[in-house]
């Protein structure tokens, strides 16, 4: 039985920049990057794009700080989803082109993300999302 994916929301400006990035890297990124580009393109194809101010504040967008809980180990991890040139080596600034970065994009607080990584499949529950420009309600 196929796994149902929750709705995926993206801000229109980000979606356009991500599509441009995929097109650019298809020609210059080399073979090793192609599977990641294919996964990102699939996510872009199924995403619902909205004006930036209409994306709910608990949706993971570029620049969002995210707390995820590994459902297999109960380990919490703090990540920030960034553009490829902003990624760091310590694993906290995660490129949108990394498998887990692509997996998180557009999901919401409370969602469970399952995504293939080199070591198998990671199952992460999104525990907290803090977007850089989202206004808190209250």
Average of per-residue pLDDT values in the chain? 86
pTM: 0.82
- CB of 21 closer than 8 Å to CB of 28: no
- Provide φ and ψ at 54, rounded to 5°: -105, 0
pLDDT, residue 31, reads 77
For the chain, domain boundaries: 9-130
131 burial class (0-12, 13-18, 19+ CB within 10 angstroms)?
buried
Q: 61-99 burial by CB neighbour count: b if 16+ within 10 A, else e?
A: bbbbebbbbeeeeeeebebbbbbeeebeeeeeebbbbbb
CATH code for the structural domain at 9-130: 3.10.50.30
* Max avg pLDDT among 12-26, 27-41, 107-121: 12-26
pLDDT, residue 4, reads 53
User: pLDDT, tens digit, for every residue of 40-59?
Assistant: 899 899 889 999 889 999 99
């Amino acid at each position: 039985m196929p796994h149902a994916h929750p709705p995926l929301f993206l801000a229109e400006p980000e979606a356009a920049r991500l599509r441009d990035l995929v097109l650019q890297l298809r020609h210059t990124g080399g073979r090793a990057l192609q599977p990641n580009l294919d996964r990102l393109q699939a996510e872009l194809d199924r995403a619902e794009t909205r004006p930036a101010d209409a994306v709910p504040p608990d949706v993971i967008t570029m620049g969002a700080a995210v707390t995820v809980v590994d459902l297999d180990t109960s380990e919490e991890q703090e990540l920030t989803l960034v553009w490829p040139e902003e990624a760091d080596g310590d694993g906290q600034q995660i490129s949108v082109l990394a498998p887990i970065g692509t997996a998180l994009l557009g999901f919401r607080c409370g969602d469970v993300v399952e995504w293939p990584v080199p070591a198998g499949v990671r199952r992460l529950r999104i525990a907290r999302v803090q977007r850089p420009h989202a206004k808190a309600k209250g």
